[in-house]
Amino acid sequence: MLAVAGSCPGASAGDALLGYGRTPTAAEIAGWDIDARGQDGKGLPPGHGTVKQGEALFAEKCAACHGDFGEGDGRFPELIGGRGSLASNHPLRTVASYWPYAPTLFDYIRRAMPYNAPQSLNSDETYALVAYILAINDLLPSSTTLDAAGLAAVRMPNRDGFRAGDPRPDVHNEACMHDCRQKPVAVQSVAPKPADAPDRGR
């Protein structure tokens, strides 16, 4: 097991005097360095997969949770549908309705799926599954062979649905720094005191 001090790039030379830790090997770093950036696909690995290959993989590894056609099964989420529902009273957040960047789908599947065996898929299998999921959402033709460049070029329907910045007041929202409250605070309800709660007034 690697000690933190020995594996951190910023560790000082003095840490070596403590007698623990070592510099990780390139292979060890590569094993952890598996993230792919959503906006432009930076970090996507070499490889490719077809929609047809992805369909077979989905049936074998994904359908038990996500349904035969990505419709969801019980408590597991839907992967299809929901287009145009985000502004409604019943939004359905799926790959096509909510996710802003296609490479994020590859990143998530490679990192966390299948549910019972995460990180067991190779790059070609992951590209194939992503191609199939995008295809059943009508975002790719069924004849597609997907690779890193093709995935980064996919424009998701909700690409512009996310606002830049953080709107919360506690992170210095410039839109509301002073006199933000329009009405005085009023207590709407009070939780009832349990019958066996001690009376702190005595």
Give the tens place of pLDDT for each residue, 93-139.
999 999 999 999 999 999 999 999 999 999 999 999 999 999 999 99
Residues 49 and 132 in one domain: yes
CATH number, domain of 129, equals 1.10.760.10
At residue 174 the predicted structure's pLDDT band, cuts being 50, 70 and 90, is low
Alpha helices in the chain (DSSP H): 4-7, 26-32, 51-61, 63-66, 103-112, 123-136, 148-153
Residue 149 structural domain: 35-153
The string of pLDDT tens digits covering residues 2-42 is: 444 444 555 555 556 777 888 899 999 888 888 899 999 99
- Whole-structure pTM value: 0.70
Q: Which of 146, 159, 83 is nearest to 109 (CA)?
A: 146
Q: What is the pLDDT of residue 201?
A: 57
At residue 77, the 3 state secondary structure works out as: coil
